[in-house]
Amino acid sequence: MKKTAVYPGTFDPITNGHLDVIRRGAEIFDSLIVLVAIRKEKHTLFNLEERLELVKCATKDIPNVQVATLDKLLVEYLKENKIRFVLRGLRAVSDFDYEFQMALTNSTLYPEMETVFVMSSGKYIFLSSSLVREIASYKGDVSGFVPGCVIKKLKKKVIR
């Protein structure tokens, strides 16, 4: 039986840490769908179309990865698409608290689902999209933190 998982996130922008989790998830599952979330409560630097484009660009060399939009509750997407597995990356203890709460809530809404946690590689344990945005806003070098296609877009969108 083919095992498909989703990896949801805002990806504003996608980082090398996200890519690390995606690559490792793609080795675990037969198919991995990266879900770019519409988060109305978040004021994203990149709009949805730009974030989709960046995730597609960053993952184009991983054959079993697809990219889609998440515009509803994650459990509703899972049910509609008959998917049971959610992939999540963990960086630190603070991530675990939030992710544990989300996993328990989601499994209450959809008992058939399973959340699979992957620890970040050591070199990405500190990395976040918000940190990348901050560094880029001061024209700092983010080349070690994001894929090349993201660097080009960040330079065009520098905040300060």
Distances (CA, A) of 72 to 25, 40, 59: 23, 11, 23
* pLDDT of 159 strictly over 70: no
Domain CATH number, residue 14: 3.40.50.620
150: which 2 tokens? 């993201």
Catalytic residue among 88, 91, 133, 153: 91
Catalytic residue among 3, 39, 42, 139: 42
- CB atoms under 10 Å from CB of 73, counted, come to 12
Contact 67, 55 (CB under 8 A): yes
Residue-level pLDDT at 15: 97
Distance CA(122)–CA(99), nearest Å, equals 19
Does residue 91 have an active-site annotation?
yes
**Edge-to-edge strands, sheet with 31-37:** 65-70, 31-37, 4-9, 85-90, 114-119
pLDDT-based confidence at 39, cuts 50/70/90? confident
The pLDDT mean for the chain works out to 93
Catalytic residue among 51, 88, 120, 129: 129
Domain range for 15: 4-157
Does residue 18 have an active-site annotation?
yes
Residue-level pLDDT at 69: 97
Distance CA(57)–CA(151), nearest Å, equals 12
Catalytic residue among 18, 51, 88, 133: 18
Residue 123, φ and ψ in degrees, nearest 5: -70, -10
Compute the radius of gyration of the chain from its Cα atoms. Answer: 15
Total domains in the fold of the chain: 1
Residue-level pLDDT at 51: 97
pTM beyond 0.85, yes or no: yes
Does residue 42 have an active-site annotation?
yes
pLDDT-based confidence at 103, cuts 50/70/90? very high
* pLDDT of 42 strictly over 80: no
